[in-house]
Amino acid sequence: MVPSFANFGGKVHGGVILSLMDKVAYACASKHAGAYCVTVTVDGVEFLQPVEVGDLLHLDATVHFVGNTSLVVGIKVTTENIKTNEVKHTNNSFFTMVAKDDGGTPVAVPELELTNHHEMRNFVTAIRRSKIRKEAQVKLQRDYDAFIPQEDFALLDEHRCTVSFERDKVPARQNAEDK
């Protein structure tokens, strides 16, 4: 990693790493799909350790799951210090990609051949992760829709924030159209 990738703390900027991960996810997904692929979601980007300027970066991408037109690509990032040969695991993430034709319409992707128990575990885990993500999105939307300011002030009082408006001027319940 080169000095121009450094953040103000002297480490490689996380956005640079995320951009590289997206490019590698694209290459991995497109190779499997035989088509142009676009990023739909990025799940669980973990920044486990900083990446140092001067380190070699290794991005390992594998297709974990395929749907009809979508693929989940798992990416593991490691670094190697070229002076000490120390290897560090620095990042993990999962990218959901969709294959598209030249007109931008989603196209079917080939099925994934699972050749060992590790690949099977990745496939099943991707199914479970997708289910959990969808359930969480529904729950968060329900919580957002159920926002009752008068009751939620107690929750705010337990956290590090200051309410700088008059509590009694808040509407009793926020309607969906007020969002």
Q: Tell me which fold the domain 3-178 belongs to.
A: Thiol Ester Dehydrase; Chain A (3.10.129)
Q: What is the pLDDT of residue 102?
A: 96
Q: What is the pLDDT of residue 27?
A: 99
- Indicate the pairing of strand 36-47 with strand 87-100: antiparallel
Other C-beta atoms within 10 Å of 119: how many?
Answer: 15
Q: What is the mean pLDDT of residues 31-45?
A: 96
Closest to 91 (Cα-Cα) out of 39, 51, 38: 51
pLDDT, tens digit, 9 for 90 and up, residues 92-117: 999 999 999 999 999 999 999 999 99
Q: What is the pLDDT of residue 113?
A: 98
Q: What is the pLDDT of residue 3?
A: 81
Contact 13, 57 (CB under 8 A): no
Contact 170, 151 (CB under 8 A): no
Contact 176, 145 (CB under 8 A): yes
Torsion angle, CA of 87/88/94/98, rounded to 10 degrees?
-40
- What is the 3-class SS of the chain, one letter each residue? CCHHHECCCCEECHHHHHHHHHHHHHHHHHHHHCCEEEEEEEEEEEECCCCECCCEEEEEEEEEEECCCEEEEEEEEEEECCCCCCEEEEEEEEEEEEEECCCCCECCCCCCCCCCHHHHHHHHHHHHHHHHHHHHHHHHHHHHHCCCHHHHHHHHHCCCCCCCCCHHHCCCCCCHHHC
Closest to 40 (Cα-Cα) out of 53, 49, 29: 29
Contact 3, 14 (CB under 8 A): no
Query: Domain ranges in the chain?
Result: 3-178
- High-pLDDT (> 70) share of the chain, %: 94
- Residue 174, pLDDT > 90, answer no
Q: What is the pLDDT of residue 104?
A: 97
pLDDT, tens digit, 9 for 90 and up, residues 46-85: 999 999 999 999 999 999 999 999 999 999 999 999 999 9
pLDDT, tens digit, 9 for 90 and up, residues 122-160: 999 999 999 999 999 999 998 888 877 777 788 888 889
